[in-house]
Copies of this chain bind each other. A is one copy, B any other.
């Protein structure tokens, strides 16, 4: 929408131009009441966004930015391939930015984008991100943002996710069926949407199977493998040792296996293990690992497709769809008797 058009709307409604602009972009800073008024008048006066004006802001760099915590995780490396398969078809470059799970880096990267270095971004937020102002500021500046995997629930934006809650439930129910009576959930930082949802499924499954409070336990692991080793060792060498572990993210897996080996605990004999991961080596681990395998490539592809739909339409008022692509529980030896391989 051109600035003249915005001015007319603003004058008519006794609002500032900035407020009208934000309202049209469905910014979280603007109340629903105000948004409704702005949309209603825009429709009445037949003011459609000016594609040239918004195009000018957006399609300068022929580049999209992908902001992720790390690449040393098979989910992200596969997702990148899905993203690039779409970006290439559109003649766009893909730039990968790593936050290393740090909020300050994520914020600095997004501020950099204000200069127009990229036309749009795909983001999976860091483990430290609980404040999302840096993301809504970027959206307010007219740069389309699509979340994938790790989302900010408080921002009205498109998001491509998997069925985390259901998979948390399925993994837990599977361990219960395999005979586990005390199951520990090893969580990634608890502010992350994926941690919250996977854990919610875990808790629901325990509840549905009439587990008592002491039969479940949640431990929050961090980024440091040595610290995680210490924590996991403590958990599995205690008196009331768990007989089942669910790892919320891939990086905990080698640590669990090594800790069990060092303590001479058998997987799955003493402890059954399931991990959320896309590890290409899952089937050749000792023992082969039961995984919740995410549709990483498809999620990357879907996220990029939604972003390009916006870039090509110059759509200043995004639809904020949520796409859910289901994951698969791949049962192997690490979780017990009913194994595939």
Contacts and interface: CB of A to CB of B under 8 A. Distances in A.
A47 to B, nearest CB: 36
A281 B289 CA distance: 12
A316 B94 CA distance: 29
Contact of A287 (B74, B88, B97, B286): B286
A327 interface: no
A84 B96 CA distance: 12
Given A77-B77, A96-B98, A286-B287, 8 more contacts: A70-B77, A93-B109, A95-B95, A95-B96, A257-B284, A284-B285, A284-B286, A286-B288
B279 A281 contact: yes
A159 to B, nearest CB: 23
26 contacts: A70-B77, A71-B71, A71-B96, A72-B77, A72-B78, A72-B280, A81-B100, A84-B98, A84-B100, A88-B105, A93-B97, A93-B109, A93-B112, A95-B95, A95-B96, A95-B97, A96-B96, A251-B280, A254-B284, A257-B284, A258-B283, A281-B281, A284-B286, A285-B286, A286-B286, A286-B288
A309 interface: no
A234 interface: no
A258 B95 CA distance: 34
Interface in A231-257: 251, 253-254, 257
Contacts of A122: none
Among the interface residues A94, A98, A261, A288, which one has the most CB atoms of the partner chain B within 10 A? A98
A281 B258 contact: no
Interface in A61-96: 70-72, 74, 76-78, 80-81, 84, 88, 93-96
A74 to B, nearest CB: 7
Among the interface residues A96, A105, A279, A288, which one has the most CB atoms of the partner chain B within 10 A? A96
A6 to B, nearest CB: 32
A93 B110 CA distance: 12
Contacts of A74: 72
Interface of A: 70-72, 74, 76-78, 80-81, 84, 88, 93-98, 100, 105, 109, 112, 251, 253-254, 257-258, 261, 279-281, 283-288
Contacts of A286: 284-288
A77 B71 contact: yes
Contact of A72 (B81, B253, B287): B81
A288 B287 CA distance: 11
Contacts of A261: 284
Among the interface residues A72, A84, A253, which one has the most CB atoms of the partner chain B within 10 A? A72
A168 to B, nearest CB: 23
Contacts of A97: 93-96
A220 to B, nearest CB: 21
A65 B76 CA distance: 19
Nearest to A109: B93
A16 B20 CA distance: 59
Closest 5 CB pairs of A and B: A286-B286, A72-B77, A96-B96, A257-B284, A71-B71
